[in-house]
Every structure is written in C-alpha cells, then in structure tokens.
Structure 1
C-alpha cells in the first residue's frame, strides 16, 4: 500500500472533509423531508461512505477516498467533534425537568435501564462465543456482556428532545414527562458506562477500584471546586451582554482539559467533557447556555461530527453479514426494543400513567441515535466489540431511532396531539370565559406601559383578563445534533418569571392575569396559537415586532384570532397620562368602526373624554356629530369638537396616520378589525360600546 507524505495527507483531509460535508448535508435534508431528525441522515451518510456502499462498488472507492494513512488524522477530528458533542449533552442535563415528577421519572428510567441491561447480559451468553476474539485478543465474557447490556439500555436525550420539539409535544404533560425520564436515564446510563469501562480497562479488582477511586476524586473536584468558579461566567456575561471570545476560550479550555484528565484516569475522554457540561452554571445562565450551544453547533455539526459518522461508517459493513449474523440482528433488535418499551411502559402504568401516555413513553425511550454510536465506538476502542458485532449494533441504533417518529405518529395522531396541546395551554394559563386582551411582550422593562394600556382597553367589559405572551425569537438556526431544548426551556422559564413580574400590574388594576412564554422560529404562528387558546378578543403588539407572515398585507397570519392593535410611538409618561383624552380618527369601514370601539373602551378605562377626529367634508362632520350625540346619551364622555387638548392616545384604522406618531408625539394605535368586528355595522358597534358592564 502506498504511503503518502504529510502534504498529500493534508490534501486528502481537505477533500475528504468537503465530500463528507456535502453528503452529510444532503442526507440530513433528505432525512428531514421524510420526518426524521437530520442526525439520522448524517449517520446513514457515514455508513454509505464506508464499505457498505462505496466499498461495495468496483474499484475500492472507500479506500481510494479514505486511505489507511489518512484515517488517523480524520479520527482526531472525529474525536474532537465527539468531545464537543458530549459537552453539549452534559450542558443539556437539567434535572429541573423532573420537579414534581420525581417518582415517575426515576421509576421509568430505572426500569427502562434495568430490563434491557439484564436482557442484553443474557443475550451475551448466546452470542459471545462468535465474538470472543478481537484482533487476536480474547474478549472476556464479563466485558462483552456489560457492554452489550449498556448498549441496550441507552436513550438519546438530544434526539428524543428534538422529536418532541418538532411535534410540539414538549408542551404537553407526556412530552415533559418523557424529558424528565430521559434526563434521569442519561445520568444513570453514563454513570453505568463509566463503571463498565473501569471494569474493562482495570482488568483485576484492584485496577477497577483504582480507576473508580480516581474518577470519584475527579468528580468531587469538578463539582466542589470548578463549578463555583464557573459562576463568574454568568457575571461576566451579564456585564458584557454577550459571549466574548475570552469566555468562549475558557469554556473550550475547560472541555479539553477535563477530557484529557478522564482519559489519563482510564475511563474515556468523553466523560470529562460530559462532566464539564454538567457543572456549567444553570441559574440565570439561560442566555449564556444558548449562545455557547449555538457557537459550538456551528463547528461540530457542520464539520466535525459528520467526520465522526464517517469514521464510524468505515467500520460498518452490512454486506458482510451472513445468515447467522441476521439471526443475531433479530435477537438484538428484539432485546433492545422490547426491553426498553416493556420496562418504560410497565413502570409508567404502575405509577397510574394513562395507557396512551405510557405507550408514548415506551416508544420515546427507545430512541438511541448518536449517543448509541458513542458507546459503540468506546467498545471498539477498548477491544470489546469486533467488526461484525459493531455493525449489528450500529444497525440497531439506526432502526430504533428511525422507528420513533412514525410510531409516535400512530400513538399520538395529530388530532389527539392538537387537543392535548390546547388543553395544556388553557390549563397552564388558567383561563376562563372572559373578555381577553393578549399583550405581546418583547422587552419586559419597556413594555410595562403596554400592560397598562391593555388594562385600559378592557373598558367596561367584565369579566375580563389579560394574557401576557412572550415569544423569544431564535436568531441562529436550531441545533441539529444537540436538541437545544434544554436552553430553550431555561429561556422560557426566565421569560415566564419576567412576565409574572408584569402580571402584578394587572392584579393591581383589579384584573386577572395569565402568562405564556414560547421559544420560536415563527413568532406570529405562536402568537396565533396563544390567541386561539385564549379565545382572544384583542391582540396588542408593538409596530415592527415581527415582519413576516401570510396575512392580508399584515405581518400576522390571516387566521389570527381577535382584533389586532399595533402600537407606534413611545408609550412613556405622555402616552399613559390619564389627563389627555383618547382620540380616534373617524372612518366608516370595519377597521374604523373597530378603532372607535377600542378608543371608547380605552377612554372609559382611563376615565377620560373621547375625542372624535372627523374626516374632511360636511358629511363626515355630521356623521361624527351624530355618533358623539349617541355616545353622550348613554353616558360616554365625548370631548367638544373644538377641543384643542392634546390627546394621550390616538386610535386609527390602517393608513390614516403615517410617520409612527400623531400630533404632539401622541402614540398611534393602528386597529385591524377581527372577524367578529368585521360583521358589525355602526349601530351594532355603538350598541357594543354603550352596553352596560356585565356583572363580575
């Protein structure tokens, strides 16, 4: 075999990386199109570039593209990608998921590990004889059986979380419970794997105890010494307002140094990276965590992890499996799927979880994904798994991951999922049948004025409630390998805390308040869902909050529930001053009639006069005078036509006022009539305005 010099090897690495990235991106997109996570496509891409497809074609193309003396260099890049991935896995371990669900989460997790581990150990007694030699070295039964048991027991938290997020199941109790179980499963499984590696590497009892002892010392130092120091990252992040290069460098140094320590101890470098992720700050660190995840994903997902998939795929040769191997594959799939499903299902049912939810848990806990490949590669590196067993277990990992989405679709069809999401939304917001104003909060500090305005818009309506909605928009693409959901949920929790501070304003005004926080790439779609769940009468939003949508000339969808009131201008002291009247630009169209109703309700809510601004011409003046008389007769305070008192607010239909603010910097509220208002004529509008308040 020809040997290449360093310049040729470097050139090979560059072209290999280009080929790997192209194939990985194409297969990732194809996977998403068929309803699978992108990582599934990238895993399959790695397998196809190995002996399974490329090597099966004439000319040994896999050897030509990936020569033997180039592969060690690719392997270094692959291991770096693996280290970064394991840090992200640790970063997403957040046991706050299990709060209030401790008993169910622990029982399901333990059962879904113990049963498949036991079955895997028993399966080893049947198949060890065919796989007891790796590269001329005998594989001890205990090492083989322990690794096989762990391989059957793993659940991939990132892939599971991504599947839940893509179906919006993380918003229903079943999804939250699945996340809780997977989080506990992750901690137990990685701890178990560390012990198994110690047994394999340590050899005798003394060696095993030494490795475990050093590992415990390492963990204590990380949790008791390094973890408190890392809290300064949160302080610096708040001071600078962003993740600086120095902060990112410090995180990378910690990841690599921790990985080196655990490799020296004798377990594996992935454990150091994982533990460093686990000890990263959680309190007030949602934005920091999100920025770190986004930065690392840009490198690891696009470049390094696809190399890991290819390095893995070079050891997978599906074409070499004979009939006996197919029989073993059937047994492996049976043990892996049945062990996970039955363990999770039985434990969930014993905790009185409904059958549908218990079935969904059993399906989701079978998700193995990339996490399984990590374990299998450790088995190969430690000389426990031969090429054929490695191939069989990689196939099992792919099959159990691919089957999750379609099986979940059967267990939780869209109609059931939509029903459960709607029920969960209403339960979370504690809503009742009442006049409802949804306030879209962007900046919690600045938008306190918006909350006051929402209370004004209630007018005489009773009962009434205010829903404070915060949709945090992602500025970078979603993570593709790590789920990103842990950071998302932390950000949503922080947003929820900020909204509850604003809710005090509503309570002080004597109204009921509810909060809803989301993390989204399509903010208007989420606002529409919140408005529909709340049966909103009014949606209050700042101008320019989001600029995309499919509505009729508006940034929001045409199906948005309720009247939309868009605020332009600064709602400072001038906009909230109770002394200024509320003005409205008169218009006979649906938007103009709705603007009149909103303005009248705001005037009554503020206890200030309503100021009518008539259009040009004597007919417009007569119409405005008639409307004013009708309002006065039923007790609405209407300012005289010649009043020159500056208005505190100006309501107008779209297009009537331009420039963002009205006279004297009066904030302009542009009103877009909702479906209910479009069917009303002026008489009906006046009747709604002047109707006495319903008893509370």
Structure 2
C-alpha cells in the first residue's frame, strides 16, 4: 500500500464521516431516524448521485485500490452492529404476552415471505445473472422472501422512544413481536444461507449440523461464562478496558466461527450479543453502547453505507425497471402490514392498535441493508435487484414515522397511557396519597429506611408508589448506534418489582398500587400521574422541592428525612404549625391523618380560633385522637415530634412542609376533615375511642 493509497484512504474516511453526520442531522430535522440520512448519504457518494456529475468524481474519490480497505472497515462495523442487535434481543419483552407476540411475529414473517418468494419467482427471468454468472432460481426466490420478512428492531425501538409509546399497547406488543421476529427471521436466514452455500444436500446437512453444535456451545458454555461479566463490572464500578476487550474478542471469534461454518459472520456477532447477560446487566449494556458508539457510528458504519452506495446505481434501474421497483415496494409494504395486522387482530388487539403495530413492523432500516449485503455476497441478487431492494429498505423506513402519526397520533398516545394507569388504580376507594420515589435505588429494606418519613405520611391511606426514572435522554447523550430501550425496559421492570415489594411491606397502608414512568420532565409527568390516580396528596422528598413547587394536580407534602435526627423510629406527638390560607389547612388535614393512623396525639400550633379548629377536627377526635391547639407564642418544639408545617417549613425545622398549589376548588378545613376522616357511624366512633394510642396498621374506612 503506497502513500497515494494511504492519503486517499484518510481523505475518504474524512469525507464519509462528514457526509454521514450531515445526512443524520438532516434526517433528524425532518423527524426521521438518523440512519435514514446516513444511508441516503452513502447512496449519494456513489454512482447514483456523485457519479452523475462530470468526470465521475465517485471513481477518483474512491479509487479501486482503496475500496477493499473501506470494505474491510465496513465489515468490522457490520459485525459490531449485529452484536448490538443481539445485545438488545431480550425475551423478557415477551413476558405475559407470548401468544400475541408469537402470532404477530409469525404472520408478519409468513405472509411477506410468501409474497416475496412469489415476487422473486416473477422477477427471476430479468435478474438471473450476476456479472455474467447464472443465479440459481431457488436461491434468489428464498432470499427475496426472507428480505421481505425482516423488521429492524433498533429503528422500531427508536421510533417508540421518540414518540413516548413504549408503554402503549402498540409499543409493548410491537417490541415483543419484534423480539420473536428476530429469532425466527435470523434463524430462517441462516438456514437459507446454508441451503444456498451448501449446494448438495450433504453439504447443507453438514453446515446445519455444525451450526447446531455452535449454538449449543454458545448457550451451554459461553453464556454461563459471560454471566460473570456483570459481577466483574459491578466490582470495578464501571466498564473497564479489560472487560470491553474480553467482549470484543468474543464477538470477533464468534463471527470467525460462523464464517468458517458457512453461514456468514453476521450470525456469529448476533449470537454473541444474544447470549450476553440480560438480568441485572442494564448498566453494563448502556456502557457498552456508549463505548461502541464512538467507533461504530462515527467511523465504521458510515463505511458500510458508502460501500453499499458504491454498488448501487439507481439510474441504471431505468424507466423500464420502474414497474419492478413499484412491485417491490407494493409487496414489501402490503406483505408486512397485512401479516402483522392479521396477527394482531387474531390476538384480539383493537383495530387502531393493530394498525399501529402493523406500521411499526414495516420498519426495515439498516437491518435490511445487512441482509441485502449478505445476499449480494452470496451472489443471489443482481445489481439492479439489489438497488431496488435498497430503495425499498429506505422508503419503508421513511414511511413508518408519518404513517404512525396518522394512525396513532399523540393525543391517542396520551389517552392510552392515562387509561392504562387509571385501570391499574381502579380498585382503591379510600383517600389516596401518591408517594414519589425518584430513581429508586438499593434494596427494598434500604428504600424503606431511606424514605421512612415519606412512607409514614401514607399510613392509613390508599397509597400509590410513583416511581419516576430519569429519562434516557437526561442520563446521557442520545445513543445512535443502538437504542438502549431493552436495558431501559429492564430497569423500569426492576423498579416496578422493587416498588411492589416495598408496597407489600407497608403494614399500615390501605390498598397499594404502583405506577412507573421514564421522564424527561418529572413535574409534568407527576401531575399527569396524580390526575390519573386521583391523588388527594402528593408526597415528595425535600431533594425534589424544585419539582414539588411546580406540581398543580394535588397538594404536595415535602418531606425532609433529615429533620429531627434524634427522633426514634415511629411517630411521637404530631405537631402542626399551621399558617393562614390553603397550605395551612392542607397541613392540618395531613397532620390529622398522621395522628389518626399513627400517634393518636395531635398538637396544632395556629393563631386561628381555637374553638373553630377543635370543631373542624371533631371527626378525628371522635376516632380517639387527643387534640391540643396551642397559641404560636407559647409553642415550644418537642424533641422527637413529627412536625408538619403549612408555610415556611424550613424555618420551623419541620419534617413535612405542605405546598398547596393545587388546581382545586376552595374547601373549608371542616369539609375536608369530614370527607376524609369522619367515622361512618357512632359505633365506629366508639371503637376508635377505645383504640390504643401507640400506632395502628388498620386501613381507613372506605368513603
């Protein structure tokens, strides 16, 4: 390799990186995945656009001795991308919806495969040679069928993330179906490549047998060894270079093995990603993606787009080939849509949601280009047919986002999420407290100890534990090489499981429900969750006071877990420092609940009329709470007391400060106390008067 070749290689790399970044920026500007713009940039650098200019600049910019070097870089990028596709394959996505996912996936493969095979049979006479070499009809027919059957999981996941649809019916079922689709489609493709590569039945059987042995080794031996990576990463506290080196060595060795077997190197990379640990490996996955993005997205994948673009000449399709291109697009769109829609309807999914799933399953993107490049390497796709299928991959991906907005607009997304949350909370009927736990970390016991005062505020009420996880876009820069939606799904599933265990340990609460969301705007999402839950009070940690001041759906209790550090576990006398106005009245209501369901002793420090306060609090005193009203000038803070303030709580050293910024109608203190705490009848009042004054674990009466 002379200096001339090296200079052109470096120049080409610079040009390709610039073109890919510009293409990605343009695509994102028109609400398309970045990969659409990068693929288009790769095509533009080839004969389809650059080659049309005078002097054919594509030929001197990418001379013949440089193209093999670019091809080598492209293959490395392809291997890393397929590893990421396998890494994101997590069958936990199908949990609880296995039958529907299998139905959607099977029909979205069978129907387009049949139509694609028929299309290959029809087009074969016009595309039966590659560089003068005859193509076997069976190979072309089978490969055209499988090319129509692929769904691009990474692009689908990115669209769902951008639209906030991960928890909607179409989002959940399309992701689950795409996970099953990956298994079925890649297995089918491996078998078809074995048939094409083997030729004779004996050779095909040999390739299939070696593939089965390889799969057994990967799942039986390599997978248990890779599980130790999670412990290694957690011990180190980060993804170290040694850990990443082990992973990359495994990826390339696995790719080498499948290439030697005869089923293409992309399967080795995909398989290694598939056997990577999934449970408890969310941070490991994200760190892997963050590291690979620097190399893969910026450098290697753009090489693949350009190498693909250099072999595609759209002008060569000509007017006579437009009907074939139209037929390819028709088969691709209708085959996937009809198959996925039929599978969703057979699973009793409503019409609109089924249509949205069908649109999402039509996404192909970069994954389709990977399949097509394998077909070109095998010599079963002519140059013209390859170009048509590349256009099909680009067009179907571009159509997904606008069609999805047409079928499933943002207003429907919001209403579906709200309806799902309301259904989850429909059983509870008592006064309801929503306790907000941001990014719940640690064990259930640690959560309970860390948020003891917040959970105390929920004693006796129906409780909604609201987990708000920091949005992926806030945790780190948006990733392009892969969409860490599966790690994020796993993180939210882990948070829900942890909050359910925490809820089951709350012996003094009524009905306990759990809601969980990713959020880039916690205040807006918490308001929506509180409205869906019908929360009477929102309980927030003092660390999130800035968020609390923006909440409007319900009164907010800001809890300082560090207040009164000498206080023993459990509540002593509940003291309420009540100011004038709504915040003061809400503070008294909350303090009354703390006393009623806890200490049975309430001291209200207020300049308001003592007689009126006692009269407003009569429903609580009838249930056995000892109430004292104290003039602010005579008040002395009691060590170990649970202080609730209705105004500047930080100045009083209160454990709980009430902010009443709610968009609610004005209601007197007496009306609110009676609504929440009045005994159902005289017998209830008598029973309450006999209750002990320590603490209670009973649920409140249902109103």
Q: 1:486 maps to which residue?
A: 486
What is the rounded CA distance, in whole Å, between the counterparts of 2:300 and 2:568 in structure 1? 54
Q: 1:497 maps to which residue?
A: 497
Q: Report if aligned partners of 1:631, 1:638 keep a CA contact under 8 Å in 2.
A: no
Q: 1:471 maps to which residue?
A: 469
What is the rounded CA distance, in whole Å, between the counterparts of 2:617 and 2:551 in structure 1? 36
Q: Report if aligned partners of 1:318, 1:391 keep a CA contact under 8 Å in 2.
A: yes
Please give the secondary structure, in 1, of the residue aligned with 2:593: helix
Q: After superposition, where does 1:357-368 map in structure 2 within 5 Å?
A: 357-368=353-364
Distance 1:397 1:567, change over 3 A: same
Q: Report if aligned partners of 1:471, 1:526 keep a CA contact under 8 Å in 2.
A: no
Q: 1:149 maps to which residue?
A: 145
Q: Report if aligned partners of 2:576, 2:587 keep a CA contact under 8 Å in 1.
A: yes
1:191 is displaced (CA, Å) by 0.9
Please give the secondary structure, in 1, of the residue aligned with 2:579: coil
Q: 2:689 maps to which residue?
A: none
Q: Deviations over 1:225-260 (max 9, x none)?
A: 111111211222333343332222211111111111
Q: Report if aligned partners of 1:444, 1:502 keep a CA contact under 8 Å in 2.
A: no
What TM-score comes out, normalization by structure 1 length?
0.88
What is the rounded CA distance, in whole Å, between the counterparts of 1:486 and 1:633 in structure 2? 53
Which of 594, 597, 605 is the equivalent residue of 2:597?
605
What TM-score comes out, normalization by structure 2 length?
0.87
Q: 1:129 maps to which residue?
A: 125
Q: 1:526 maps to which residue?
A: 525
What is the rounded CA distance, in whole Å, between the counterparts of 1:497 and 1:236 in structure 2? 24
The answer to which of 312-321 and 154-163 deviates more is 312-321
Q: Report if aligned partners of 2:431, 2:676 keep a CA contact under 8 Å in 1.
A: no
Distance 1:166 1:515, change over 3 A: same
Distance 1:603 1:142, change over 3 A: same
Q: After superposition, where does 1:102-501 map in structure 2 within 5 Å?
A: 102-429=98-425, 432-441=428-437, 442-445=440-443, 446-449=446-449, 452-458=452-458, 464-474=462-472, 475-501=475-501
Please give the secondary structure, in 2, of the residue aligned with 1:331: helix
1:210 is displaced (CA, Å) by 1.9
Q: Deviations over 1:284-337 (max 9, x none)?
A: 323323332333234322332222222222222222221221111011111111
Asked if 1:37 corresponds to 2:33, the answer is: yes
What is the rounded CA distance, in whole Å, between the counterparts of 2:203 and 2:20 in structure 1? 41
What is the rounded CA distance, in whole Å, between the counterparts of 1:575 and 1:6 in structure 2? 78
Q: Report if aligned partners of 1:131, 1:385 keep a CA contact under 8 Å in 2.
A: yes
Unaligned runs of 5+ in 1: 548-553, 615-621
Please give the secondary structure, in 2, of the residue aligned with 1:477: coil
What is the rounded CA distance, in whole Å, between the counterparts of 1:80 and 1:602 in structure 2? 63
Which of 586, 594, 615 is the equivalent residue of 1:594?
586
1:171 is displaced (CA, Å) by 0.9
Q: Report if aligned partners of 1:128, 1:144 keep a CA contact under 8 Å in 2.
A: yes
What is the rounded CA distance, in whole Å, between the counterparts of 1:48 and 1:571 in structure 2? 64
What is the rounded CA distance, in whole Å, between the counterparts of 1:583 and 1:20 in structure 2? 68
What is the rounded CA distance, in whole Å, between the counterparts of 2:312 and 2:659 in structure 1? 60
What is the rounded CA distance, in whole Å, between the counterparts of 1:14 and 1:639 in structure 2? 81
What is the rounded CA distance, in whole Å, between the counterparts of 2:429 and 2:141 in structure 1? 60
Asked if 1:674 corresponds to 2:670, the answer is: no
Q: 2:638 maps to which residue?
A: 645
What is the rounded CA distance, in whole Å, between the counterparts of 1:372 and 1:414 in structure 2? 28
What is the rounded CA distance, in whole Å, between the counterparts of 2:232 and 2:416 in structure 1? 41
What is the rounded CA distance, in whole Å, between the counterparts of 1:575 and 1:32 in structure 2? 54
What is the rounded CA distance, in whole Å, between the counterparts of 1:310 and 1:523 in structure 2? 42
Q: Deviations over 1:646-666 (max 9, x none)?
A: 2433334565526xxx65xxx
Distance 1:82 1:151, change over 3 A: same
What is the rounded CA distance, in whole Å, between the counterparts of 2:278 and 2:135 in structure 1? 42
Distance 1:691 1:26, change over 3 A: farther
1:505 is displaced (CA, Å) by 2.6
What is the rounded CA distance, in whole Å, between the counterparts of 1:99 and 1:579 in structure 2? 42
Q: Report if aligned partners of 1:134, 1:385 keep a CA contact under 8 Å in 2.
A: yes
Distance 1:237 1:501, change over 3 A: farther
What is the rounded CA distance, in whole Å, between the counterparts of 2:451 and 2:501 in structure 1? 11
Q: Report if aligned partners of 2:467, 2:495 keep a CA contact under 8 Å in 1.
A: no
What is the rounded CA distance, in whole Å, between the counterparts of 1:573 and 1:468 in structure 2? 26
Please give the secondary structure, in 2, of the residue aligned with 1:155: coil
The answer to which of 344-353 and 275-284 deviates more is 344-353
Distance 1:174 1:686, change over 3 A: closer
Q: Report if aligned partners of 1:451, 1:502 keep a CA contact under 8 Å in 2.
A: no
Q: Report if aligned partners of 1:359, 1:411 keep a CA contact under 8 Å in 2.
A: yes
1:625 is displaced (CA, Å) by 5.6
1:588 is displaced (CA, Å) by 2.2
Unaligned runs of 5+ in 2: 681-699
Q: Report if aligned partners of 2:604, 2:627 keep a CA contact under 8 Å in 1.
A: no
Distance 1:39 1:576, change over 3 A: farther
Q: 1:543 maps to which residue?
A: 542
Q: Deviations over 1:657-676 (max 9, x none)?
A: 26xxx65xxx6433221325
Q: 1:564 maps to which residue?
A: 556
Q: 2:511 maps to which residue?
A: 512
Q: 1:581 maps to which residue?
A: 573
What is the rounded CA distance, in whole Å, between the counterparts of 1:630 and 1:443 in structure 2? 44
The answer to which of 195-204 and 79-88 deviates more is 195-204
The answer to which of 83-92 and 594-603 deviates more is 594-603
Q: Deviations over 1:318-360 (max 9, x none)?
A: 2222122111101111111122122222333334333223322
Please give the secondary structure, in 2, of the residue aligned with 1:142: helix
Q: Report if aligned partners of 2:574, 2:599 keep a CA contact under 8 Å in 1.
A: no
What is the rounded CA distance, in whole Å, between the counterparts of 1:485 and 1:460 in structure 2? 37
Please give the secondary structure, in 1, of the residue aligned with 2:543: coil
Q: After superposition, where does 1:623-634 map in structure 2 within 5 Å?
A: 623=608
What is the rounded CA distance, in whole Å, between the counterparts of 2:617 and 2:112 in structure 1? 77
What is the rounded CA distance, in whole Å, between the counterparts of 1:644 and 1:88 in structure 2? 59
Q: Deviations over 1:517-563 (max 9, x none)?
A: 33344444433332232122222222334x9xxxxxx4368464212
RMSD: 2.9
